[in-house]
Amino acid sequence: MRLSRFFLPVLREDPREAEIVSHRLMLRAGMIRQETAGVFSWLPLGHRVLTKIMDIVREEQAAAGALEMLMPTIQPAELWRRSGRYDDYGKEMLRITDRRDNELLYGPTNEEMITAIIANDVQSYRDLPLNLFHIQWKFRDEIRPRFGVMRGREFLMKDGYSFDVSEEAGRAAYNRMFVAYLRTFAAMGLKAIPMRAETGPIGGNLSHEFLILADTGESAVYFDRAFLDKDAAALQVDYDDDEAVAAIVADYTAPYAATDDIHDPARFEKEVPQERRVEGRGIEVGHIFFFGDKYSKPMNCTVLGPDGREVTVQSGSYGIGVSRLAAAIIEASHDDAGIVWPQPVAPFDLGLINLRQGDAATDAACETLYEALRNAGLEVLYDDRADRAGEKFARMELIGLPWQVIVGPRGLKDGKAEVKNRASGATQEVSLNAVVARMLDACTEPPGRG
Ligand code: ATP
Ligand code: MG
């Protein structure tokens, strides 16, 4: 992509409305713009990040056996009356009436809708298990939308739902999602810690939240340092092997970890030696629940079992805050100059900077590199604008692409470009004809995924 043809409205000044660094940087880097409280447009740079996050979510969901579908944002109120949640949900739910006076709502979550689909279309135990997910916008009329997309009112969520014939099978489905979440967040370059959680309005008795550490997180977290030494990116898993999956869950739930909602200081002190106790703040990026028949019972979601008798289906639900993740990743990875994208979610692999736009030799060298890098399959943002070098550097640092390839007349005399790593700031002179190989090497995904 040529910057001259891209839409990247960067801001020089810190926007006054932004209280936390991710919100500030997302606005400054031209990723998002607010439309009304808690509702945002995603500009091209932000949209590319959102897409990368969704790709990673999809890949691991598929590996774990979940099927993608798409349900609407608008739901009939009647569905929610059947589960009994229509009145409980209160003012968080955006209620809408259409021209025929039908009562509708903008979905805050989809347990009712998917349970009704399964109740209608699945008759036999032979058709289970099923795990269905979608990535769709949600609306919750939060009392205090704040921190940009971190706590929006309209936000993008991946929500999945499992359906099984027995509690045992349902728990195995829960475990698969638990492990899929560990791998998903690790693939984004995040260390997410699973913490036992309260189930809240979704209900049920088994639940974990996945939190990443950040000073600006809304939850206080207390956990055993052992989590910091675990590397979920290296987890190998056979999702067909229930016991092996359960063993990973056991390993990741053994050390103490809790958010302030259910934190038990006495237990913390008893179970975790002082030097291993960590207290900090965290951002909830995922939340999983096993709630058995909480929705299937009132909504008559049953199947015929092997013995010909009707059994009520056992379910769980599994959410990932896709749009919140874009901000959470920035909270976890930035410096004074701007964002520092982990490679897997970066909007482009690298930025190619032409230091003397209009100089024939520099332009020619950049054009050649731009084409060669793209032909090698890399995603390149080519800064071909006629701005001052200082402005180009500052903008490229701000938007945080993992690598920069800098081409100017001085280096070109020796046939060289400068390669800079955004995270470490380390630079290296590289021969023009070695740049592609160097970048391919640098940008290839680390092992452990897929
Ligand atoms: P929170 O405790 O942060 O209000 P929640 O527990 O109400 O979230 P869930 O129903 O568990 O949310 O939703 C699944 C995921 O969706 C959450 O883990 C979070 O990452 C994301 N999410 C929830 N509410 C918002 C929001 N207002 N803005 C952005 N993302 C959100
Ligand atoms: Mg939650």
At 198 the pLDDT is: 74
Instruction: Tell how strand 380-383 and strand 350-354 pair up.
Output: parallel
> Torsion over CA of 119, 123, 129 and 130, rounded to 10 degrees?
-40
Which pLDDT tens digit goes with each residue over 160-182?
999 999 999 999 999 999 999 99
Q: How far apart are CA 207 and CA 198, in angstroms?
A: 7
Which pLDDT tens digit goes with each residue over 75-125?
999 999 999 999 999 999 999 999 999 999 999 999 999 999 999 999 999
Rounded to 5 degrees, what angle do the CA atoms 280, 215, 224 make?
20
Residue 39 CA: which ligand is closest?
A: 1
User: Is the beta carbon of 155 within 6 A of some atom in ligand 1?
Assistant: yes
Letter string b/e over residues 103-113, b meaning 16 or more CB atoms within 10 A of that residue's CB:
ebbbbbbbbbb
At 444 the pLDDT is: 83
Across the strands, what pairs with 132? 67, 161
Residue nearest to atom 16 of ligand 1 (CA): 321
Of 181, 133, 197, whose CA–CA distance to 159 is shortest? 133
Residue 285 CA: which ligand is closest?
A: 1
List the end-to-end C-alpha distance of the chain, in Å, as a whole number.
Answer: 27
Residue ranges of the chain whose pLDDT lies below 50: 447-450
At 315 the pLDDT is: 97
Burial label for 75, CB within 10 Å (0-12, 13-18, 19+), is: buried
Count of CB atoms situated within 10 Å of the CB of 186: 22
| C-alpha 15 – ligand 1 centre gap (Å) | 25
| C-alpha 212 – ligand 1 centre gap (Å) | 13
Starting from the edge strand earliest in sequence, which strands make up the sheet with 416-421, in order?
380-383, 350-354, 403-407, 416-421, 427-431
Residues 413/31, Cβ–Cβ less than 8 Å? no
Rounded to 5 degrees, what angle do the CA atoms 331, 316, 65 make?
80
| C-alpha 317 – ligand 2 centre gap (Å) | 11
At 197 the pLDDT is: 82
CA distances from 173 to 131, 202, 289 (A): 8, 17, 11
Which pLDDT tens digit goes with each residue over 5-22?
999 999 999 999 899 999
Q: List, as ranges, residues with CB under 5 A of the ion ligand 2.
A: 287
Best probe residue, ligand 1, of 142, 157, 291, 325 (max atoms within 8 Å of C-beta): 157
Encoded tokens for 29: 């880097």
